[in-house]
Amino acid sequence: MLTIQQIKENPQYIIDRLMVKGFDGKEKIEAILSLDERRRALQLSADTIAASLNKSAAEIGKLMKAGEREAAEVAKAEVAKGKEEQKKYAAELEAVEKEILDLRLSIPNIPCEAVPEGKTAEDNVVEKEGGVMPNLPADALPHWELAKKYNIIDFDLGVKIAGAGFPLYIGKGARLQRALIQFFLDSANEAGYLEVQPPYVVNEASGYGTGQLPDKEGQMYHAPLDNLYLIPTAEVPVTNIYRDVILNDNQLPIKNCAYSACWRREAGSYGKDVRGLNRLHQFDKVEIVRIEKPKNSYAALEEMKDHVQSLLERLGLPWHILRLCGGDMSFTSAITFDFEVYSAAQQRWLEVSSVSNFETYQASRLKCRYRGEDKKPQLCHTLNGSALALPRIVAAILENNQTPEGIVVPECLRKYTGFDIIN
């Protein structure tokens, strides 16, 4: 979340940048500034009373030693009165601080200067593209029909077991899933990311730490008896490793990767664009997460983009990178780049990765800090990206690589699958 210092230094800049995301924050920013003045006044009063009580306590001791019991009793009465007043200020201070925190939690991150203005996905900017478009015959099949033809994914059995959006992978389909996961993890390891295996559920504090709460409750699966949430991405548990942590300067940068299953309700998703693997409630993904010094975070962002691009190039898929406009960005991001691959049979682009820099927004919630050269704790920058999400990668591989003999497996995956073709 935005820090009080950020807001106080240039409130009009914050208001203007929030408008790039389509968020009118003027009223809330002004309310925070007003409440912060009230907070400081209350804190001053509370500190003054505390100092007076300390002084009175010393005076009472002197009076008692001098045998002036009557004067000491009068002083004690004044102290008791002061303590009641102190409680009143403490309660008011707590209420004001909670109100400020609630307001800060409700305000999204400001987009950085490189974020283009715009309201919808149509306003996103194609920054880079590559790969060769496949030349498929007119009767090329979409992946859900290929999955049935080769008996590698059963969507109907998934519905029987759990419901729509929970596919069952079979035989070579399951092997292809496992191959992609291992390929993505091995590639991340080669790029210097330390693998971790996180829990697949998180508590409320973790959800608040990375910004899923209170913004995305409706999209998360919740186990109310335990008050735990199924993770929508490994970003959540991995980034929360560093919640309430002060790192040493020489510990940065931190580079982690993790495989996990992911769960999202995808409330409101319907229509032809959600068929097959296009939009699921449960899916597999490898995530990369970085904790950086602020001065290095945008260089780290470019490294992450290059890493994701290299995966798509090795898979032989047509791809492009979108720089998201303000209106299409997430609540927590300062800048986001989406990677999409082209699905030849569906003749549409499919998002397979988002790579984002959150600057200090998540770190402020997490209290993730490091000690710089002056040894004073300061907020880190956090970044993450999908490297990669599997479902639409699988969809594009099946569709783009279909031949009369079967589906050709990308060469980089063959040492993991143990076969060259699905037939």
- Quick: pLDDT tens for 219-242: 999 999 999 999 999 999 999 999
Q: Are residues 177 and 243 in the same domain?
A: yes
Domain membership of residue 15 as a residue range: 4-105
Whether 89 and 147 map to the same domain: the answer is no
Which of 105, 133, 162 is a domain's end point? 105
pLDDT at residue 272 is higher than 60: no
CATH number, domain at 182? 3.30.930.10
Q: Are residues 74 and 153 in the same domain?
A: no
Average pLDDT, the chain: 94
Residue 187: the pLDDT is 98
Residue 47 tokens, joined: 């500190």
Asked if 272 and 310 sit in the same domain, the reply is yes
Torsions phi, psi of 219, nearest 5?
-95, -10
Please report whether residue 116 resides in a domain.
Answer: no
Residues 199 and 332 reside in one and the same domain: yes
Is 80 in the same domain as 147?
A: no
Q: How many CB atoms lie within 10 A of CB 397?
A: 26
Confidence of residue 269 (pLDDT cuts 50, 70, 90): low
Q: What's the CA gap between 420 and 403, in Å, rounded?
A: 13
Q: Residues 169, 175, 178, CA angle at the centre, nearest 5°? A: 95
Q: 174 and 97 share a domain? A: no
Q: Which residues contact 272 (CB under 8 A, 6 or more apart)?
A: none
- Same domain, yes or no: 101 and 129: no
Q: How many angstroms separate the CA atoms of 408 and 423, rounded?
A: 9
Query: Does 144 share its domain with 76?
Result: no
Which residue is listed with tokens 């997460």? 289
CATH code assigned at 96: 1.10.287.40
pLDDT tens figures, 60-111: 777 777 777 777 666 677 777 878 888 898 999 999 999 999 999 999 999 9
Tens of pLDDT along 392-411?
A: 999 999 999 999 999 999 99
What's the number of domains the chain is made of?
Answer: 2
- Is the pTM of the predicted complex or chain greater than 0.75? yes
3-state secondary structure at position 118:
coil
Count CA atoms within 13 Å of residue 139 on its CB side. 2
If asked whether residues 95 and 145 sit together in one domain, one would say: no
